[in-house]
Structure 1
Amino acid sequence: MKPPPELVADTVRRLVGSRWPTAADRAAWFAEHDITPNEPLGAFSSWGTGIEGWGDAATCWSVVGDDVVGVGWFLWPFDPRAAQAAARLNEQLTAAFGEPRQRSDGDMGWLEWEQDETVVEFSAGTEEDPRVQLHVVDARHVVEGTLGECATEDGPGSC
């Protein structure tokens, strides 16, 4: 299974402990954290895929003004093992950040961890869309559990 849940959790731990980059520094920051998408996803400037070792995960990022304020992934699409991987990832994140708070957004249930000035948002998806969604966002730009005004194009989901 790519990416392994342990790799995702390790990446999140490293992101939580790092500083948020400017938009100009985004590519270097992605490379530093081994999350560089190698292929664009459609015509969307803030979406990509082809992260080495991450299988067919899609990634997105949000920019407000000159700052990157969030990065997210859609993990394990169409993989029958997605629920098992989501459970393992949840365990890893809980071990790293403690018990999450819960929130709902329509049909989606979310778990959230707040560490320093970073919020980690996790959803195991729905029966209709079992992709795991994971966001790491700058807490200063979180409004009621979602990013505020993002200066990015909408992609195949919300980031």
Structure 2
Amino acid sequence: MTPPPEQVVELVRRLATSPWPTSEAERVAWFTQHGLPTHGRAAAEEGSTLSAHAAADGPPGWGTTQWHVFDDAFVGLCWFLWRDASDRETRAAAELLATAFDARWTLVERLDDPVQGFTALWSVDDVHVDLYFHAPRVTPHGHPIDSVVQLHVDHAARAATADAVAASAASPDRSYPDV
């Protein structure tokens, strides 16, 4: 499998345990240090001036590396791994990652679903490692979904802040004036 699960575990370990970048210059240096693409296709989130995503190919064999910036601070990065592997191989790789992460870090939560797969979250100081194994299935609209591993490494506090702002922007104002 490309990348080998052991290589994924090692990169995630290095990312999660290294000093987290704050500025764009620090992010570029950190990405360079870890062999990640430093510049990519940027796209601001619709309706947001604070949040932006970027994506680029790499490292070799990993497909697209995606990263998220909120309020000018680097939040985290994400991959979708092993799209071209068989379901059996993808599921085995996901379980290997989960077992390796369990051995290193505190498991916050794991949810298993016989149809959709599983998700697990680990806490590493100020960093969260979030793994989703998406099992192959057909959506209610009839669209087939192949198995894939979705992997996020995020600064926990920055991700929580970005999520809270996004949630408040998406929900209607429920406050009422004093009468």
- TM-score class, shorter: 0.7 to 0.9
Unmatched 5+ stretches in structure 1: 151-159
Inter-CA distance 148–73: structure 2 relative to 1 (3 Å threshold): farther
- 1:95 maps to 103
How does the TM-score come out when normalised to structure 2?
A: 0.69
Q: Which moved more, 1:67-76 or 1:87-96?
A: 87-96
Dislocated runs of 4+, deviation >3 Å: 146-150
Identify the structure with bigger relative contact order (alpha carbons < 8 Å, sequence gap 6+): 1
Identical amino acids, percent of aligned pairs = 32
Residue identity matched to 2:105: F
- 1:23 maps to 24
Residue identity matched to 1:27: V
Q: SS of 1:119's equivalent?
A: strand
In 2, the alpha carbon distance for the partners of 1:15 and 1:56 equals 15
State the shift of 1:19 in Å. 1.8
Q: In structure 1, which of residues 58, 64, 69 is the aligned counterpart of residue 70 of structure 2?
A: 64
* 1:79-118 correspondence to structure 2 within 5 Å: 79-80=85-86, 81-103=89-111, 109-118=118-127
Residue identity matched to 1:96: R
* 1:8-157 correspondence to structure 2 within 5 Å: 8-21=8-21, 22-36=23-37, 40=40, 44=43, 46-52=54-60, 55-80=61-86, 81-103=89-111, 109-127=118-136, 128-143=145-160, 147-149=163-165
- CA RMSD, 1 decimal: 2.8
In 1, the alpha carbon distance for the partners of 2:31 and 2:164 equals 22
Residue identity matched to 1:47: A
Inter-CA distance 47–14: structure 2 relative to 1 (3 Å threshold): same
CA offsets per residue over residues 16-38 of structure 1, 9 Å max, x none? 11122122322221111122268
Q: SS of 2:36's equivalent?
A: coil
State the shift of 1:118 in Å. 0.6
Larger radius of gyration: 2
CA offsets per residue over residues 87-132 of structure 1, 9 Å max, x none? 211111111114441258xx56420001111111001113124110
Residue identity matched to 1:23: E
